[in-house]
Copies of this chain bind each other. A is one copy, B any other.
Amino acid sequence: MTLPPPPGVGSSQRLAPAPQLAEMLMQIPWLCHVANATIERLAQQAVLHRVPAGSILFEQGEIPTFAPWLLHGAVELVGVDGDNEVMIETLQPFDLLLPAAILNRQPFLTRARALEASHLALIQADTFRDAVASDHALCLAILACEAAQFRRQVKLAKNLKLRPAEDRVGCYLLALVESHAMATTIRLPIEKRRIAGQLGMTRETLSRTLGAMANYGLRITGDTITVTDAQALRARFRLDPLIDAPEPIEPGPPLAL
């Protein structure tokens, strides 16, 4: 796997002292039950990779040589065929990128691209596999990560196949509003282009649909959302926890003895 010096802005810095990397990994909530020794072992051979927005982290079809661990920023996984791309998932800290491929020495099924300037820990693939095979607590943690990612994938699929575009947008916005305690005015957290991708539609369709939200008590101008009629909004869109609830990585129980 090559790390192309991304075009444009400052080149990526691969080198970073390992000791502080171990500390960063220890901050990860879902690694709370993993022994420090193991985390240090992972960090030993790892490097911190800082990349600007737009960088390709790996290409579809490559055999992984390291496990990329998202510490800061955002990354999207996209399926590619010729020149068209489709969004598969967007990842946030502290997700591991496609652990399934790394563990089984299988090719990555997607391309990964940084959506914003991001920091990743790159862990040697062999080191990673050995650690998972020799440390039970780590194995449980990775299982939890993989489980969360699977469930997110299922939720995405349900959202996409079960709801028309307008409902997807409405539920997305309603969830956003509710997470802000129904404040009457809030901001879109990310670019519209990315929202459209996550909701599986084109920017044009999103744009039109946002306009149509006025009928349901929501006005969107630029990146500002104003709730004009919370009741109408709730009447029109019903959140389904089996689709709309976030799917955090659960650390799970400590090792049973």
A interface, CB within 8 angstroms of B: 60-61, 79, 81, 84, 86, 88, 99-101, 103-104, 106-107, 109-110, 129-130, 132-134, 136, 139-140, 142-144, 146-151, 153-158, 161-163, 200, 240-242, 250, 252-253, 255-257
Bound form: Cα–Cα A183–B240 in Å:
48
Set of chain B residues within 8 Å of A240, measured between Cβ atoms: 81
Further pairs besides A100-B150, A103-B252: 20, Cβ < 8 Å: A79-B157, A81-B158, A99-B147, A100-B147, A100-B148, A101-B151, A103-B147, A104-B147, A104-B252, A106-B151, A109-B154, A109-B155, A110-B158, A129-B253, A133-B255, A134-B255, A134-B257, A142-B143, A143-B146, A146-B147
Interface SS majority for chain A: helix
Residue of B nearest to A80 (CB): B162
* Distance from A239 Cβ to chain B, minimum over Cβ atoms (Å): 12
Bound form: Cα–Cα A148–B98 in Å:
11
* Distance from A28 Cβ to chain B, minimum over Cβ atoms (Å): 17
Contact among B86, B110, B158, B256 with A109 in the assembled complex (CB-CB below 8 Å): B158
Q: Contact between B139 and A250 (Cβ–Cβ < 8 Å)?
A: no
Q: Contact between B79 and A158 (Cβ–Cβ < 8 Å)?
A: yes
Set of chain B residues within 8 Å of A143, measured between Cβ atoms: 103, 132, 139, 142-143, 146
Contact among B99, B150, B200, B252 with A149 in the assembled complex (CB-CB below 8 Å): B150
* Distance from A153 Cβ to chain B, minimum over Cβ atoms (Å): 5
Residue of B nearest to A87 (CB): B161
Q: Contact between B157 and A60 (Cβ–Cβ < 8 Å)?
A: no
* Distance from A129 Cβ to chain B, minimum over Cβ atoms (Å): 8
Set of chain B residues within 8 Å of A200, measured between Cβ atoms: 161
